[in-house]
Structure 1
Amino acid sequence: MTKTEFLDTLRLKLEGEVPVSEIDSTIRYYDEYISETVGRGESESKVLEELGSPLLIARTIIDTSARQEGNNRKTPYNSKEEAEQDRVRYYHLNVNRGMAKLTAVLIFVAVLALAATVLRILIPLLLPILLIGIIAAIFQNGGRRR
C-alpha cells in the first residue's frame, strides 16, 4: 500500500461519518506524519505497516467522534452517577474456547508440577523427623500402648 492509497482509504471511510473539518485535519495529520517519518530515513512501506490499517484508524476516529457528539448533547440535569458511567470503559477479550481450555490445562499441569517439586524436596527432610518423633514417642511410653 502506498501513502496515497492509505490516505484515500482513510478519507473514503471517514466521509459521511464525521465532519469534513475533522476529515481534513486527520488526513493532514497522517500526511505530515508519513512525510516526516519517511524524511528521517524510514521506508514508506514500514511507516504504513507500523500505522496499521486505515480502516481500523477510521473506525477509531468515527467511534471517538460519535462519543464526543453524544457527550455534547447532554443536559445539565444529569446525575453524577451518569457522568461517572461515561468514563467507564469496557474491554472484550476475544479468546478461542479451545485456546482457553488449553491454557487452563497448562496452568493445572504447572501447578501439579510445582506441588510435586515441593513434595520431592520436603519429604526427604520431614520423613526422618517424623520417624524420630514416632520412635521417641514409643520410648517415652515404655513401649506400651495405652
Structure 2
Amino acid sequence: MSRQEFLQRLRDTLTGEVSGSVVEENIRYYEEYIRGEVLKGSSEEAVTEAIGDPRLIAKTIIEASENAKESSSSGSGSFYSSFSGKDQNVYEEPGQERRGMHYYDLSKWYWKLLGVVAIVLFFFLAATIVTGIFSLLAPLMGPLLLIGLIYWFIKGLKR
C-alpha cells in the first residue's frame, strides 16, 4: 500500500471518531515517519506493511483517545500515536514534554483471560511443588515412624 493510500485510510477511519486536531496530529506523525523510513532506503510499501493496518491503528488511537478523555480532568491535552516497532499511545498535557509510554488496556477480555490462566498456572505450580516435596519425603516416613515407635517402646520399658 502506498503512503497516500495508508494515510487516506487512516484519515477516513479517524474522521468523526476523534477531534480534528487528533486526526491531523496522527496523519502528520505517520506521514513524517513514512518519509523518514523512505529516506533511509525502505520502500513506501515495506514501511506501511511494517506499520500495519491503518484501520487497526485508527481503532487503537480512538480507544486511547477515549480513555485519555475519561482519565483527564482538564481535557486540554492532545493525543498522538507513534510507531517504533510497536504501537505507543501517549497523552500529552500542555507544557509537558513528550515521553514514550506504552498504553495497555487491561480491561479487554483477553487480558482478563490471561490473568485467570496465570493464576491457575500459579496454583498448579504451587500444588506440584508441595506434592513433589511429599513424594520425596514419603519413602522416608515409614522408616522414621518405625524408629519413633522403637524409641517410644524402649523409653516406656525404662519406666
Percent identity over the alignment is 36
Out of 109, 129, 134, the residue aligned to residue 114 of structure 1 is 129
Q: Which runs of 5+ in 1 are unaligned?
A: 74-88
2:24 aligned partner: 24
Calculate the aligned-residue CA RMSD, in Å. 4.1
Q: Which runs of 5+ in 2 are unaligned?
A: 77-103
1:67 aligned partner: 69
- Bigger Rg, which one: 1
Q: Distance in 2 between matches of 1:42 and 1:108?
A: 48
Q: From the two aligned structures, give the one with the greater strand fraction.
A: 2
Structure 1 position 100, deviation (Å): 9.2
Q: From the two aligned structures, give the one with the greater helix fraction.
A: 1
Structure 1 position 135, deviation (Å): 0.9
1:48 aligned partner: 48
Q: Distance in 2 between matches of 1:122 and 1:104?
A: 27
1:13 aligned partner: 13
Q: Given the superposition, is the C-alpha separation of residues 25 and 43 from structure 1 closer, same or farther in structure 2, using an over 3 Å criterion? A: same
| Aligned residue-pair number | 129
Kindly report structure 1 stretches of 4+ aligned residues shifted beyond 6 Å.
Answer: 98-108
State which drifts further: 131-140 or 114-123: 114-123
Give the alignment's TM-score, normalised by structure 2: 0.56
1:86 aligned partner: none
After superposition, the C-alpha distances for 1:57-106 in whole angstroms (9 at most, x for unaligned) are 22343441782898449xxxxxxxxxxxxxxx9732314xx999988876
2:155 aligned partner: 140
Q: Distance in 2 between matches of 1:101 and 1:62?
A: 28
